[in-house]
Amino acid sequence: MRCGRSSPPRWGPCRYPRSLAPRCGTLVADSGCGPASAVCTAGARWAGLLVVAIDGTYLDVPDDPGTRARLGKGSNQYAASGYPQILLVALVACGTRAVIDVVFGSRTRGETTHGKRLMRSLHPGMIALLDRGFSSNTFLEAVAGTGAVFLARLSAALKPPVLRRLEDGSLLSRIGSVEVRIIECEITIATSAGRTTGVYRLATTLLDHHRYPAFELVKLYHERWEVESAYFAIKKSMLGRRVLRARTMAGIAQEVYALLTAYQLIRVAIADATDTAGADSDGASFSVALQTARDQVIHAAGAIADTVVDLVGAIGRAVRARSRRLR
């Protein structure tokens, strides 16, 4: 699997004469080329296709005049947000929640604008799971143009024509220049607060309803939430909901790449540990792995010359001993 390079974000006139961002971006991508990229990991593929997802999230940055001028602040009908934010959009391997490629920059450019830069890392043999924010004609055409197939939730605004109804209840249609198959379904979510039922319309370029049954595709779409779990690990487990510390554009880029590099290395360790044991990495706790890595660093384990640093082994033993709790 080819790993895309994470180029520095286009803030505008900002320059990177001393920035480590390009080198950090290469490290993120290179560390994603191992087992955590989910080529062979259990649960990584569906019908022979590598399952990936694209989605975006926001990271708060310091509220300085420079960052406000470059990034602005989000707002709604009630008030402006407390901090300027950057928008990060990632391509994630659902089997391990490892980052395959990532772009980030000003939130004013929008998820789909940033997301189109991830097309460099999509290719045949992948199935991309997309939320309705990525269901525009142009974005779906861009995904289809890479040779990857997609399974996307459609927004209510899209009204594709009905060209033919199939035996399993799905129908053939067209979105832009792409021929698709549309599946309508009801999904009920049960939580401690009660049950909620919603109607979903999913569009896919997998047109063969015999080979790819509608019910199996509906079940597969649940895997899209793995990208949300990846963002939870980065923003909650690693950052603790804190604001980034850097106060310059170049510094923000370096800090984001450093954060992603640490995240990726922990995912590699988890994937190595679970793959060796023949287990699914879904059952491994990221929090346990993160704390174990911190303990190793704090104790300076392996810091003596001519010794082997057993970081992956220590994390592996820890995550095997404690399963991730269900949310």
Q: What tokens does 131 get? A: 């939320």
Q: Decide if 32 contacts 3 (C-beta within 8 A).
A: yes
- CA separation (Å) from 206 to 97, 129, 151, 289? 24, 12, 8, 37
- At residue 111, the pLDDT reads 94
* Separation of alpha carbons 134 and 112, rounded Å: 6
Which segment, 29-33, 87-91, 106-110, 301-305, is predicted with the most confidence on average? 87-91
Q: Decide if 91 contacts 260 (C-beta within 8 A).
A: no
Beta bridge pairs of residue 128: 52, 150
> Is residue 35's pLDDT more than 50?
no
C-alpha angle 103/12/238, rounded to 5°? Answer: 35
pLDDT in tens, 201-244: 999 999 999 999 999 999 999 999 999 999 999 999 999 999 99
* Separation of alpha carbons 78 and 307, rounded Å: 58
Q: How confident is the model at residue 275 (pLDDT cuts 50, 70, 90)?
A: confident
Report the C-alpha dihedral over residues 284, 131, 254, 30, rounded to 10 degrees: 60
C-alpha angle 195/201/37, rounded to 5°? Answer: 90
